[in-house]
Amino acid sequence: MSTARPFATDLPARTRRAVKTAGVLFGMGAGGLIDGILFHQLLQWHHLICFSCHPGATIEDVRRNIFADGLFSVVAFGLTVAGVSKLWSALRAGAAPLPGRIFPGAAAVGWGVFNLVEGVIDHHLLQIHHVRPGPGQTAWDLAFLASGALLVLGGLRLMREAPSGASARLSAR
C-alpha cells in the first residue's frame, strides 16, 4: 500500500477543472488588489477613474476617486474570496491535497488575464487612466500588458509542467 501523495494528474477531471477555475478567480482578485494597493494607494500614480488627476481638482473629485477605488477593491476582494471558496469546495469534494502546480499556475493566469483586460479596456480603449500618466505613459501601459501576457504564459507553463502520475510517483521514491 502506497502512502505517496496523489499528484495533480491523479485527481478527477472535475476536481482539476474546479481547482483551475478557483486559481483563475483568485489570481484575478489578487491581481486587482495588488494593482489597487500598489498603483492607486502606495505609489498614487493613478486611480480607477481619475477625477482629481487634473489641475483645479476639488476635494469632491478626490472623494469620487477614493469611492471608485473602493468599489474596485470590493470587486477584487470578491473575486479573491470566490477563488478561495471554490478551491475549498473542490478540495473537499475531491478529498485530495492541493495539487502542486495547478493552483499557482491558474492564479498566475488569472492575474495575467486581469492585467490584459484592465489594461486594454481602461488604458487603451476607454483611456480612463494610465499606469503612470504623463511622459512615457504609453510605454508604462504596454509594459503592464506585457506583464499580463508573461503571467498568462508562465501560468500555463506551470500547469502544463505538473508531474504526470506514474513518472512522478517513480521519481518521488
Q: What are the pLDDT digits (tens) for 49-86?
A: 887 677 788 999 989 999 999 999 999 999 999 999 99
Q: For residue 95, what pLDDT is reported?
A: 58
CA 52 to chain CA centroid, Å, is 27
Average per-residue pLDDT for the chain:
86
Query: Is residue 116 predicted with pLDDT exceeding 70?
Result: yes
Cα gap 154→106, rounded to integer Å: 10
Torsion sign, CA atoms 80, 82, 88, 90:
negative
pLDDT at 163: 59
Whether 169 shows a pLDDT value over 70: the answer reads no
For residue 70, give Cα distances in angstroms to 32, 47, 64, 73, 118: 12, 10, 10, 5, 16
Structural contact between residues 18 and 89, judged by C-beta atoms closer than 8 angstroms: yes
- The pTM score is 0.83
Q: Position 134: which residue type?
A: G
User: pLDDT-based confidence at 165, cuts 50/70/90?
Assistant: very low
